[in-house]
Amino acid sequence: MLKLFHNPGSCSLASYIALEEAGADYEVVRLNMREGEQTRPEYLAINPKGRIPALIKGQGVLTETPAILAYIAQAFPAARLAPIDDPWAFAQAQAFNSYLCSTVHVAYAHRLRGSRWADEESSFEDMRRKVPRTYAACFQLIEDGMLRGPWVLGDAYSICDAYLFTLAGWIEATGVDPKQFAKVHDHRERVRSRPAVRRVLARETS
């Protein structure tokens, strides 16, 4: 059985959704990041980075959302969560997820995690002020050319959609109106209506 370490409302939601979509045999272990459970010795023994998600299987521990999503797609090919038989198309999926991880998520992190990059409170405030612009710029780029529609890669739902749904769910927290990105907003509602996603979201609030 796979074991996913997850914090509700975090980026690990994408991996949680992918596992549910794949029909995997898995369990979820919730970490309370507000209480710092990700920094406790027992979790650092699993993931020394002190971040989520982390996925445990018999072979060991896998971290980083793009890697976990790619693993799920390849481990459960019948779910058809990525174009794993087409190297170019799969690379395109990886490129999209890498952008979400390295740019979009980092832009959002400046809202709450300024201490990763600076020490002065004035610097934190400067970062927070800029987040609405930087986060909106990321989604404008996705809106204008990266979301092929109706799903990220075109006609087929994939791991990219679970990841985009997760990060698009943070737009309101930045003070930006998500409806200014019509394609992204419609995509978010389309993903939300999927049975697997509804099941996961129901557990999140239970």
Burial class of residue 125 in the structure, from the number of CB atoms within 10 Å of its CB (0-12 exposed, 13-18 middle, 19+ buried): exposed
What does the buried/exposed string (b/e) look like for 127-155 if buried means 16 or more CB atoms within 10 Å of the residue's CB? beeebeebbbebbeebbeebbeeebbbee
Residue 139: predicted pLDDT = 98
Residue 118: predicted pLDDT = 61
Q: What is the Cα–Cα distance from 94 to 15, expressed in whole angstroms?
A: 14
Side-chain half-sphere CA neighbours of 11 within 13 A:
21
Residue 21: predicted pLDDT = 98
Q: Residues, the chain, total?
A: 206
What stretches of the chain show up as alpha helix (H) in DSSP? 12-22, 41-44, 65-75, 87-99, 105-112, 121-141, 159-168, 182-192, 195-204
Q: What is the Cα–Cα distance from 76 to 90, expressed in whole angstroms?
A: 15
Q: What is the mean pLDDT of each run of 10 residues along the chain (206 residues)?
A: 95 98 97 88 95 95 98 98 98 98 92 69 78 95 96 98 98 95 98 98 90
Q: What 3-state DSSP class applies to 81? A: coil
Find residue 3's DSSP bridge partners: 27, 56
Residue 79: predicted pLDDT = 98
State pTM to two decimals: 0.94
Residue 120: predicted pLDDT = 76
Residue 86: predicted pLDDT = 98
Domains, the chain, in order of start with CATH, read 2-80+198-204 (3.40.30.10), 87-194 (1.20.1050.10)
